[in-house]
Amino acid sequence: MNEKIKEILSWYKNENPGTIRNLYNILMHGKLGGTGKMVILPVDQGFEHGPARSFAPNPDGYDPVYHVKLAIDAGLNAHAAPLGSIQTIAREYAGQIPLILKANSNEALSRNPDPIPAVTASVEDALRLGCAAIGFTIYPGSINFKQMYEEIREIALEAKRNGLVVVIWSYPRGSSLSKEGETAVDVVAYAAQIAAQLGAHLIKVKPPTDHIELEEARKVYEKYNIPVGTLAERVRHVVQSAFDGKRIVIFSGGPAKGREEVIEEIKQIKEGGGFGSIIGRNSFQRPKEEALDFLNEILKIYMEC
């Protein structure tokens, strides 16, 4: 094991060997194996936004098999999806790439200003389907936070008992936050801290903007001159907010956008000490060859030392 991986694993030394093994598998898999960086393919948009909105741009994506193959062919570290998708591919691709079972999902057919996803899969599902990790979304800022944090407490405890890795998607939302505030740097940093305190091994947040949402926080950012002017600086602050960098924090890409824009974002994430990216719509909504080429470019950025 190289020093980088040894260092990362040292942050989790309280965990069972089962969990360490699965975390090691994710860290060592694919083209970024052993670099301490990771890129993950998440495909829960069919559930969260609807099938046509997710897959019409590249109809091959209606098939869950397409995604696991894409993740394998691109040499990514892991693939995350809800129960139904994982069920479809788990046996055939068992062992070929670490799988993250997304254990809760929201739907876009009803609206809730303080959203709370449905828990749609369990640790038992993850174990019987051979997954390496369980994934869970929390919405810090929702008045329903108590229920979500207690759900993940139970799922995380059971996951750790059984040697799984716990991945938390920490996406601030709720009636107390402005739309802009959902990606404000103070709020994203806070979201990373909460995920870390809830016991996550891997934390996924959105790239933060330079907006500051909370009045009490603004005073502190100004008084202590915390640098948040560039995305790299903000990424560095978010990573620091997750136990001073002792948790793996990765960043999502959001809605599909121009290739150059994404590449620039990745460079800044890397510069800021982010541990990697989770690239969904920006990969699977492109034709496969283009997606592979694009993902390769991203991986190369992370591979540079």
What is the SS3 assignment for 127-191? HHCCCCEEEEEECCCCCCHHHHHHHHHHHHHHHHHCCCEEEEEECCCCCCCCCHHHHEHHHHHHH
Residue with tokens 């693939």: 79
Q: Is the dihedral of CA 285, 289, 292, 296 positive or negative?
A: negative
- By CB under 8 A, the residues from 105 to 134 that bind its own copies are 105, 107-112, 114, 116-122, 124-125, 129
Residue with tokens 């560039």: 230
| Least Cβ distance, residue 145 to its own copies (angstroms) | 6
**The tokens of 45 are what?**
């948009």
According to the binding rule CB under 8 A, does residue 296 interact with its own copies? no
Alpha carbons 156 and 160: distance in angstroms, whole number: 6
| Least Cβ distance, residue 65 to its own copies (angstroms) | 8
According to the binding rule CB under 8 A, does residue 184 interact with its own copies? no
- Residue 246 annotated in active site: no
Radius of gyration of the chain (CA): 18
* Pick 46 or 253: Cβ nearer its own copies: 46
According to the binding rule CB under 8 A, does residue 92 interact with its own copies? yes
* Pick 63 or 271: Cβ nearer its own copies: 63
Catalytic residue, candidates 37, 102, 160, 204: 204
- By CB under 8 A, the residues from 188 to 217 that bind its own copies are 189-190, 192-194, 196-200, 214, 216-217
| Least Cβ distance, residue 150 to its own copies (angstroms) | 5
- By CB under 8 A, the residues from 19 to 78 that bind its own copies are 46-47, 49-53, 56-57, 59, 62-66
The residues near 262 (Cβ < 8 Å, ≥ 6 apart) are 253, 279, 282, 294, 298
According to the binding rule CB under 8 A, does residue 259 interact with its own copies? no
Q: Vertex 230, ends 226 and 232: CA angle to 5°?
A: 90
* Pick 227 or 300: Cβ nearer its own copies: 227
* Pick 224 or 305: Cβ nearer its own copies: 224
* Pick 37 or 236: Cβ nearer its own copies: 236
Stretch that binds its own copies, among 23-31, 69-77, 236-244, 286-294 (CB under 8 A): 236-244
Alpha carbons 181 and 44: distance in angstroms, whole number: 24
Residue 246 carries which DSSP code? T
Query: Catalytic residue numbers?
Result: 204
